Amino acid sequence: MAVGEYKPGLEGVPATQSNISYVDGLTGLLEYRGIRIEDLCKYSSFLETSYLLVFGELPKALQLKEFEHEVVHRRRIKYRIRDMIKCFPDNAHPMDALQTCVSALGMFYPLEDLHDAEYIYQAAIRLLAKVPTMVAAFHMMRQGNDPVMPKDGLGYAANFLYMLNEKVPDPLAAHVFDVCLTLHAEHTVNASTFSALVTASTLTDPYTVLSSAIGTLAGPLHGGANEEVMKMLEEIGSIENVKPFLERKIERKEKIMGFGHRVYKVKDPRAPILQDLAHKLFDQFGHDRYYDIALELEKQATEKLSSKGIYPNVDFYSGLVYKKLGIPLDLFTPIFAIARVPGWLAHWKEQLADNRLFRPTQVYTGLHDITYTPIEAREPS
């Protein structure tokens, strides 16, 4: 078989055919099922957008009501999962805890018929419902507290914030958080979704598919960047330090976290939406000086890096919004995971509908026909 040209990082190589989302990286366009992200953030909700992504069209009023009802009633987690979480180290990263929980969840729901629409529907509801509960339960238990039970009367976003400290959140905070989830719900064949596709193509169960994706999202070049951005802003500490910080980074050829994107060669369209949300929160709950540092960093970094098409990505401003919502730094990436569940599920479903095992090839750069040297004949190290 002829070997194609090797593309590091598979840049520009189509890995799948999909009708879930669309990105135009030159104009800064993002659509889910053909609808612009700006419109979904304005008019939709996270659960409605999840339905759109997973089932392909906007739900009718009754369908949405039933979907929301089912999610609300599946939010609780089994006591065995809670007992398992209690055994995790308190200083474990919540992304590791989440990945383990999602994988463990699969042990309670054995793999059934992957062609059965009901099996897919139930798995989707279960994952959407329980992932936030598991993140919040780990957060409470690592502090020595009991997990906060989900509150039936609260919507998806409000309930997650509630489970972090047992306080019903301000309506603006809940709304802003819901928009953040919508904004992060899907983004074509990013690294974690690709990971989900590869895992799905082996016809394993959806919990394993999502646990692969969560592990991939955690890295600092992908979803983990939102936590790193906040740490970077804290390290910079003041507007005066932006210039020397940036010069040092550029001189050492180090990356500025929250900048650059494989597809976007303009500012990520999600970044201004997050800035808008940050402003809404600042108006009601007070300004955050780290936002000024971020603005100055964007200005100076853009002057230096825009010639290479490097601008802020979605991870640059999200942490500032989460910080204002009182969310701890190491939950920023698990929140990204909560939000991305519908995107991963949509791709899992799409992969199953026309599956072929992912098994690419490689360009071998090693040796051939090497004689085996017995251990006693090898050079001592």
Ligand X SMILES: CC(=O)SCCNC(=O)CCNC(=O)[C@H](O)C(C)(C)COP(=O)(O)OP(=O)(O)OC[C@H]1O[C@@H](n2cnc3c(N)ncnc32)[C@H](O)[C@@H]1OP(=O)(O)O
Ligand Y SMILES: O=C([O-])CC(=O)C(=O)O
Q: Work out what residue 263 binds among ligand X, ligand Y, none; the CB cut-off runs from 5 to 8 Å by kind.
A: ligand Y
Minimal distance in Å, beta carbon 313 to ligand Y?
Answer: 6
Minimal distance in Å, beta carbon 186 to ligand Y?
Answer: 8
Residue pair 219/114 in contact (Cβ under 8 Å)? The answer is: no
Q: Work out what residue 308 binds among ligand Y, ligand X, none; the CB cut-off runs from 5 to 8 Å by kind.
A: ligand X
**For residue 233, what are its two tokens?**
């802003």
Residue of minimal CB distance from ligand X? 260
Which is closer to ligand Y, CB of 177 or CB of 194? 194
From the candidates 315, 330, 354, 368, which is the catalytic residue? 315
Q: Work out what residue 221 binds among ligand Y, ligand X, none; the CB cut-off runs from 5 to 8 Å by kind.
A: ligand X
Minimal distance in Å, beta carbon 269 to ligand X?
Answer: 12
Sequence-distant contacts of 49-56: CB under 8 A, at least 24 apart:
49/182, 49/185, 49/342, 50/128, 50/185, 50/341, 50/342, 53/20, 53/21, 53/185, 53/186, 53/342, 53/343, 53/345, 53/346, 54/124, 54/342, 54/345, 54/346, 54/349, 56/19
Binding site for ligand Y (CB under 6 A): 187, 190, 262-263, 313-314
261 has catalytic annotation: yes
From the candidates 139, 261, 268, 347, which is the catalytic residue? 261
3-state secondary structure of 371: coil
Closest to 297 in 3D by CA, of 252, 335, 336, 259: 259
Q: Work out what residue 225 binds among ligand Y, ligand X, none; the CB cut-off runs from 5 to 8 Å by kind.
A: ligand X
Minimal distance in Å, beta carbon 249 to ligand X?
Answer: 7
Binding site for ligand X (CB under 6 A): 9, 190, 221-223, 225, 255-262, 305, 308, 310, 313-315
Minimal distance in Å, beta carbon 159 to ligand X?
Answer: 25
Q: Give the CA angle between residues 322, 325, 329 to the nearest 5°.
A: 45
Which is closer to ligand Y, CB of 187 or CB of 347? 187
Strands (DSSP E) contained in the chain are 21-24, 29-32, 35-36
Closest to 8 in 3D by CA, of 363, 367, 365, 313: 363
Please report how many Cα atoms fall inside a 13 Å half-sphere around the Cα of residue 58, on the Cβ side.
10
Which is closer to ligand X, CB of 201 or CB of 318? 318
Which is closer to ligand Y, CB of 44 or CB of 190? 190
User: What positions carry a catalytic annotation?
Assistant: 261, 315
